[in-house]
Amino acid sequence: MVNAYDISPAKLIADLAEEIKSFPEISPPSFAPFVKTAVYKELPPENPDWWYVRTASVLRKVYLNGPIGTRRLKKAYSGRMNRGVKEEKSRPGSGSIARHILQQLEAAQLVEKVPNGRQITSRGMAFVDEIAFRSN
């Protein structure tokens, strides 16, 4: 059986994002069109469906690396900040976006809270495996 480990991450995330749009619990918040995804970014994302893509990416990360919390997700989406003539420095991704996405995934019963963060539920694992099987 094909699962998330066997398929290309880009293809899996794109297919998961399309399927996640059907969940009523998962929707972009009101600030989504205006927010930057990290401190080091200069502009907000150009893709209008970026919220669903990021949600799919977070769901995949929880599937592969769970239990995972906001701090590790901030680090996973970090990057180098251009500081002019000074050396570049690593800056974390947005914690607010990570937290909102985890809360929405929890409301959709795809992840659940555990003492060390959040881990994927059996429903979430079946959902990701089904999408991976169809994407193959």
Are 108 and 58 in contact by the 8 Å Cβ rule? The answer is no
Rounded Cα distance between 27 and 20, Å, is 9
pLDDT of residue 61: 95
pLDDT of residue 20: 95
Here the tokens at position 12 are 């899996």
Mean pLDDT over residues 94-118, rounded?
A: 95
Mean pLDDT over residues 23-28, rounded?
A: 94
Residue predicted with more confidence, 66 or 59? 59
* Average predicted confidence (pLDDT) for the chain: 93
The continuous run of DSSP H or E covering 31 comes out as none
Using CB atoms within 10 A of its CB, is residue 85 exposed (0-12), middle (13-18) or buried (19+)? exposed
Annotated domain spans of the chain? 9-135
- Rg, C-alpha atoms of the chain: 15
pLDDT of residue 136: 82
What is the CATH architecture of 9-135? Orthogonal Bundle (1.10)
Are 114 and 67 in contact by the 8 Å Cβ rule? The answer is yes
Rounded Cα distance between 95 and 71, Å, is 7
Amino acid at 38: A
Alpha helices (H) in the chain, listed in sequence order:
9-20, 50-65, 70-76, 95-107, 122-135
Residue predicted with more confidence, 64 or 2? 64
pLDDT digits (tens, 9 = 90+) for 70-79: 999 999 999 9
